[in-house]
């Protein structure tokens, strides 16, 4: 019972309930690690290949509207819209009126990406679309054609008003 397979080094000895000695060697450890790695590979492949059951939104939703704080005080100023926890207050811009749903994003304006804090709080959009913010207006635009797919005025009092307004 104390004999090993040639080349096998015992690293643990166990006694089972019948009193039998069981010796495990390095080859058992390596075989177990190989099986675990193969199983992990199969699991990760199945996770990548499974279809996405949550389709991404191609328009702004009420969850997008709710991601922003409204009418809060930061320091000594009252902020209409922004992120209270991060001290971000969005001010209005005269350029907001140039963003029109269904039209190309103006070539004279640089489409600055929405702050990453806001992006984390909002439902994910398809990679072909980019969310930009100018003043208190956010726009969802096609990255290639620069066509504005949807707009939302963050300073409006309801989601319905925010998505109806495209200027002023």
Distance CA 41, CA 33 (A): 12
Is residue 139 within 8 Å of residue 154, measured between CB atoms? no
Phi, psi of 104 (to 5 degrees): -70, 140
| H and E: helices and strands count for the chain | 4, 8
Q: What is the pLDDT of residue 157?
A: 86
Distance CA 137, CA 148 (A): 12
Report field, pTM of the whole predicted structure over 0.75: no
Nearest 5°: the CA angle 115, 118, 123 is 130
Distance CA 121, CA 118 (A): 5
Print pLDDT tens along the chain (168 aa).
455 455 545 555 555 566 665 666 677 667 777 787 777 666 666 555 555 555 677 888 898 899 899 999 888 889 999 888 888 889 999 999 999 999 999 998 888 888 777 777 788 889 899 999 999 999 999 999 999 999 999 999 888 888 885 544
Sign of CA dihedral 133, 137, 138, 144: negative
Residue where the block lists tokens 């100018």: 134
């Amino acid at each position: 019972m104390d004999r090993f397979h040639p080349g096998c080094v015992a690293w643990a000895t166990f006694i089972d309930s019948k009193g039998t000695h069981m010796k495990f060697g390095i080859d058992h450890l390596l075989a177990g690690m190989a099986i675990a790695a193969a199983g992990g590979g199969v699991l990760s492949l199945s996770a990548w290949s499974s279809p996405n059951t949550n389709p991404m939104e191609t328009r702004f939703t009420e969850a997008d509207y709710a991601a922003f704080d409204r009418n809060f005080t930061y320091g000594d100023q009252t902020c209409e819209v922004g992120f209270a926890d991060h001290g971000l207050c969005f001010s209005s811009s005269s350029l907001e009126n140039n963003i029109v749903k269904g039209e190309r994003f103006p070539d004279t304006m640089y489409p600055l990406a929405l702050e990453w804090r806001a992006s984390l709080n909002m439902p994910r959009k398809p990679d072909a679309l980019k969310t930009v913010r100018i003043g208190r207006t956010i726009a969802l635009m096609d990255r290639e054609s620069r066509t504005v797919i949807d707009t939302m005025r963050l300073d409006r009092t309801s989601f319905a008003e925010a998505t109806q307004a495209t200027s002023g």
